[in-house]
Amino acid sequence: MRYADVAVDITAKALDRPFQYGIPAELENEVEEGVVVEAPFGNGNRIIRGYVLSVTDSPRIAADKIKNITAVVTRLSDEEQRLTALAVWIRDRYGSSLAAALRTVLPARKKTAARQKRVVCLAVPRDEAERELDVMRSHHQSARVRLMEALIQEERLPYEVCTGKLHVTAAVIRALVQKQLIRIERTRVFRNPAPDEAFSHRSVELNEEQRRAADCILKAMESKPDCRFLIQGVTGSGKTEVYMELIAHVVDKGKQAIVLIPEIALTYQTLMRFYHRFDGRVSVIHSRMSAGEKQDQFDRAAQGDLDVMIGPRSALFTPFPNLGIIVIDEEHEESYRSEQSPRYHAREVAFRRGTLEGACVVLGSATPSMEASYAARNGGIGMIRLDKRAGDSVLPETRIVDLRGGTLASGSLILSGELQDAMRSALDRREQIMLFLNRRGYSGSVICSSCGHAMRCPHCDVSLTLHRDGKLVCHYCGYTEDMPGKCPECGSGYLRTFRFGTEQVESTVKQMFPDARVLRLDRDTASGKDGELKVLSAFAGHEADILIGTQMIVKGHDFPDVTLMGILMADLSLNVPDYRAGERTFQLLTQAAGRAGRSGTGGLVMIQTYMPEHYAVKCAAAQDYDAFYEQEMEFRRDSGYPPSGSLTAVHMSCPDKEHLDLAGNYVRKFLQRVIRDAPVAILGPTDEPVARIADVWRTALYLKGGDGAYLRRIRGWLEKYIEINEGFSNIEITYETTI
């Protein structure tokens, strides 16, 4: 007898592991990896469906307790089979439920998904229709007459035309269908998000640097189709042109490409470049699409109607028949990490999919993530640099404005005198200005506005957060201290949290520059359909002189006439309680700086900061990635954070705080028991940065240590422990694994 491990696709968490079923002799030849089977389940032996993950000769439990598969339903398509294998890997790598992993890679098909086009057709020969028409006329059935007259002329009419222009009700149409005089045909139309208007686009010839980059990767692909590369190229160096060149080669070989782009950075221009280059055999998915709309695009991909899929994280699971390349643009972006279980990272999953399907993976960024850079420097991925801007634009001049010593105290609380002067002269020259308020994370951190000292945890080297009860708390280890009355560094009484927003910046700017036209882009003004696009195109069309905004204004958009970029509070993002704070800050500042002076006139970037000496600020101002990498890596090595060491987070949530705290302590005790004297640190349990959301309390534990494989093994033991303990049944647990 042979046995099959079947993934039962039921949502109940306890049922999540694969179940073993016997394969009856008559199905022996049909049951293999990837087929969908039916089998009895539970006490009632209700028939359920599941995927066969693997087939073995050895039963895991007593053979007489194993039920048999009752039927084979269908095979998964080859694409689906490969994606199922990817789901199994995701489950093992990130510790989610198998059902959640399967849902991630094979999104559930919604019944109502397809939008159908209905056409009303004449179902009888014309002469017969004429006779019926006469009868209708004699009965004064004017609606029926209108419809029949029109159909005798046209034979086929869109349903909407009948109900619209002809004013025929659905009831009348139904009546004629019943009399079999007409019928309704349904054709499924794929919703194509591509604009079909004509567009013109000049094609470019790769410059020498780009040519070399493309050739290097193409050559590697010949001997190793699943090779991996990181293209580190300054903004505007023409990475997108290189991607398109690589994709063109892949498509020529009859293979397909996936291009991941952080949604916020996908511009209309970029999209048009792809449409032009690949004859429209390109599709895009984005988060505002319904599940059905996404499914349509995935179906087109599976049917071979597409060569290129562009989209955010989830586009990674496009079921292409013969995937040749995965490009991840702006690979350092946070949006590539899923916030829900499974908490996967698109870069890692792309590598895995590349290996499974023999596809090349190309990462691109001006400011690569520490993980990608580390891998590029220590083997595993090839590294290519593009150091020149492709067009005629030059990098802007950068100036750091030191806010310490009460620079802001006089006059404006937001704009330094230097920045105000620069704004005035830009306005005089009729040039455009962008003001970027760095408000990443949230504003609980405490900084001395006299000397710039930030309150940090002595054990974890991340910022402490001020709680409502006046205590400073570390969100990694739970360390707590009283909020001091004076700055421990300089003794001044100016310790404060920063809680101002873009609206305050806007009103200050309007007061100071009453004649300037000001636009603001943040979550509020960007809401609604195309809200963000409206603001950005208004600014691009010179309907305003100054654009004030959050992260949204620094990503991907080109404004050639912006000559001044003011970064208002560069260090706010240094003080979020996250070991990646320095990396995020460097990336944001570098990106923001890249926004100014793109048209060849040069430009000025002013970085206002309380921490002018911090290497993230200094290196961003100097646009020096390598210097930043070296210093940041030193910090990661010293403190054991990824990519130097591995980190596993156990996120737990529950509406009952007491119960959650108890469970957290049990987890800690369990981990202490299994880890004993292995070099792994257990941090927490401690409140998450946002300790309660919608009345559900949230806490986390962290495992920090050198060896990723070992941490994953520990996580496996923890999963089993949690599974067999009733006490955890009403606690939601997700794992997050880095390296």
Full DSSP string of 241-293: HHHHHHHHHHHHTT-EEEEE--GGG--HHHHHHHHHHTTT-EEE--TTS-HHH
Structure tokens at 150: 């029109």
Per CB under 6 A, 206 contacts ligand ADP? yes
Cβ closest to ligand ADP, residue 141 vs residue 267: 267
Give which of ligand ADP, Zn ion, none residue 489 binds (C-beta under 5 to 8 Å, depending on kind).
Answer: Zn ion
Helix, strand, or coil (residue 139):
coil
Cβ closest to ligand ADP, residue 603 vs residue 705: 603
Cβ 475 to Zn ion, closest distance in Å? Answer: 8
The window from 327-335, 484-492, 554-562, 663-671 that contacts Zn ion (CB under 5 A) reads 484-492
Among residues 368, 360, 275, 284, the alpha carbon closest in space to that of 323 is found at: 360
The window from 69-77, 198-206, 333-341, 608-616 that contacts ligand ADP (CB under 6 A) reads 198-206
Burial 658-676 (b: 16+ CB within 10 A, else e): eebbebbebbbebbeeebe
What is the greatest pairwise CA distance in the chain?
101
Per CB under 6 A, 207 contacts ligand ADP? yes
Cβ closest to ligand ADP, residue 241 vs residue 736: 241
Cβ closest to ligand ADP, residue 97 vs residue 210: 210
Per CB under 5 A, 474 contacts Zn ion? yes
Cβ 459 to Zn ion, closest distance in Å? Answer: 4
Structure tokens at 219: 């050559």
Contacts by 540-545, CB closer than 8 A, 24 or more apart: 542/432, 543/517, 543/519, 544/432, 544/517, 544/518, 544/519, 545/427, 545/430, 545/432, 545/433, 545/516, 545/517, 545/518
CA distance 409 to 448: 13
Give which of Zn ion, ligand ADP, none residue 686 binds (C-beta under 5 to 8 Å, depending on kind).
Answer: none
Cβ 67 to Zn ion, closest distance in Å? Answer: 51
Cβ closest to ligand ADP, residue 55 vs residue 206: 206
CA distance 323 to 258: 8
Instruction: Mark residues 488-527: x for contact with Zn ion by CB under 5 A, - for none.
Output: -xx-------------------------------------
- Could you tell me how many helices (H) and strands (E) the chain has, helices first? 20, 30
Give which of ligand ADP, Zn ion, none residue 124 binds (C-beta under 5 to 8 Å, depending on kind).
Answer: none
CA distance 613 to 582: 13
Residue 63: CB atoms within 10 Å: 12
Residue 357: CB atoms within 10 Å: 21
Cβ 199 to ligand ADP, closest distance in Å? Answer: 14
CA distance 165 to 160: 8
Cβ closest to ligand ADP, residue 241 vs residue 357: 241
Q: Which 420-459 positions form the footprint of Zn ion (CB under 5 A)?
A: 448, 450-451, 453, 457, 459
Question: Phi then psi for 643, rounded to 5 degrees?
Answer: -85, 5
Give the amino acid at 685: P
Kindly give, in sequence order, each residue whose CB lies less than 8 Å from that of residue 375, ignoring residues fewer than 6 positions away: 230, 381, 643
The window from 54-62, 151-159, 167-175, 202-210 that contacts ligand ADP (CB under 6 A) reads 202-210
Chain-centroid distance, C-alpha 447:
31
Cβ closest to ligand ADP, residue 237 vs residue 563: 237
Cβ 591 to ligand ADP, closest distance in Å? Answer: 11
CA distance 664 to 699: 8
Cβ 385 to ligand ADP, closest distance in Å? Answer: 12
Instruction: Mark residues 390-429: x for contact with ligand ADP by CB under 6 A, - for none.
Output: xx--------------------------------------
Helix, strand, or coil (residue 416):
coil
As a whole number of Å, the end-to-end CA separation of the chain is 40
Cβ closest to ligand ADP, residue 205 vs residue 726: 205
Number of residues in contact with Zn ion, rule: CB under 5 A? Answer: 14
Structure tokens at 99: 């059902």
Cβ 660 to Zn ion, closest distance in Å? Answer: 20
Give which of Zn ion, ligand ADP, none residue 487 binds (C-beta under 5 to 8 Å, depending on kind).
Answer: Zn ion
Instruction: Mark residues 557-576: x for contact with ligand ADP by CB under 6 A, - for none.
Output: --------------------
Give which of ligand ADP, Zn ion, none residue 691 binds (C-beta under 5 to 8 Å, depending on kind).
Answer: none
Cβ closest to ligand ADP, residue 556 vs residue 684: 556
Q: Which 334-393 positions form the footprint of ligand ADP (CB under 6 A)?
A: 390-391
Among residues 66, 46, 49, the alpha carbon closest in space to that of 58 is found at: 66
State which H helix or E strand residue 38 sits in.
strand 35-41
CA distance 134 to 322: 59
Q: Pick from 168, 309, 350, 477 the residue near Zn ion by CB under 5 A.
A: 477
Give which of ligand ADP, Zn ion, none residue 233 binds (C-beta under 5 to 8 Å, depending on kind).
Answer: ligand ADP
Chain-centroid distance, C-alpha 132:
59
Instruction: Mark residues 218-257: x for contact with ligand ADP by CB under 6 A, - for none.
Output: ---------------x-xxxxxxx----------------
The window from 148-156, 382-390, 468-476, 521-529 that contacts Zn ion (CB under 5 A) reads 468-476
Q: Pick from 14, 71, 189, 204 the residue near ligand ADP by CB under 6 A.
A: 204
Question: Phi then psi for 401, rounded to 5 degrees?
Answer: -105, 115
Number of residues in contact with ligand ADP, rule: CB under 6 A? Answer: 15
Give which of ligand ADP, Zn ion, none residue 318 binds (C-beta under 5 to 8 Å, depending on kind).
Answer: none
Contact set with Zn ion (CB under 5 A): 448, 450-451, 453, 457, 459-460, 474, 476-477, 479, 487, 489-490
Contact set with ligand ADP (CB under 6 A): 204-207, 210, 233, 235-241, 390-391
